Amino acid sequence: MIKFKKGELTNLKSGNPVKMLITDTRVGRNTKALVAGVSERASRHPDAMASVFHAVNTISEELSSIVELAATDEIAMTSKEEKLAELMEMNQGLLQCMGVSHASIETVLRSTLKYNLVSKLTGAGGGGCVLTLIPTLLSKLVLEKVTTELESHGFRCFKVEVGGQGLQIHQG
């Protein structure tokens, strides 16, 4: 797992992989136009948008710290996932304030919320992909139901694990 900030990549040390459902809305987007829209909004409301940008940065920093925490049992992992979910939910709300959401993203959010799952857009927004946190203790049946519902909207879903130990070579 990496953190990208102002053109700089930082590796995050994550002992526990985080399970995610990536939903591709299949909606193309124009990143340049989305960035221009955020910039215009910031010009019209400089103080408010400065607060939004500050909050997004604070959430990103806190999320990075939580990802690096070791969770040694199910209770610790559940606590970690609850904190990640809360930060993802706050971040998505701020991204909506910036004007980078889209009807397809909102459909994913509504669908996953029915199953008490938290999602947020990824990338520039305006379509594209949405990340949904999959709690460790979530049943396979619930994951199948939410995936089926999302696919019924024409979206593609991919279950992934990010972070964790990764590839290791032991010599002997």
Task: Examine residue 6 and state whether it is found in any structural domain, yes or no.
Answer: no
Estimate to the nearest angstrom the gap between the alpha carbon of 109 and the chain centroid. 11
Task: Examine residue 104 and state whether it is found in any structural domain, yes or no.
Answer: yes
Task: Examine residue 74 and state whether it is found in any structural domain, yes or no.
Answer: yes
Structural domain tally of the chain?
1
> pLDDT tens digit string along 48-83?
999 999 999 999 999 999 999 889 999 999 999 999
Query: Residue 165 pLDDT more than 70?
Result: no
Exposed, middle or buried: residue 145 (CB in 10 Å: 0-12, 13-18, 19+)? middle
Question: Can you give the CATH number for the domain in which 24 is found?
Answer: 3.30.70.890
Round to whole Å and give the CA distance between 124 and 139: 31
> pLDDT tens digit string along 94-147?
999 999 999 999 999 999 999 999 999 998 888 999 999 999 999 999 999 999
What are the distances in angstroms from CA 114 to CA 12, 77, 147, 155?
31, 22, 12, 17
SS3 90: helix
Find, among 43, 60, 151, the residue nearest to 99 by Cα.
43
pLDDT interval class at 30 (50, 70, 90):
confident
Task: Examine residue 1 and state whether it is found in any structural domain, yes or no.
Answer: no
The pLDDT value recorded for residue 166 is 62
Estimate to the nearest angstrom the gap between the alpha carbon of 115 and the chain centroid. 17
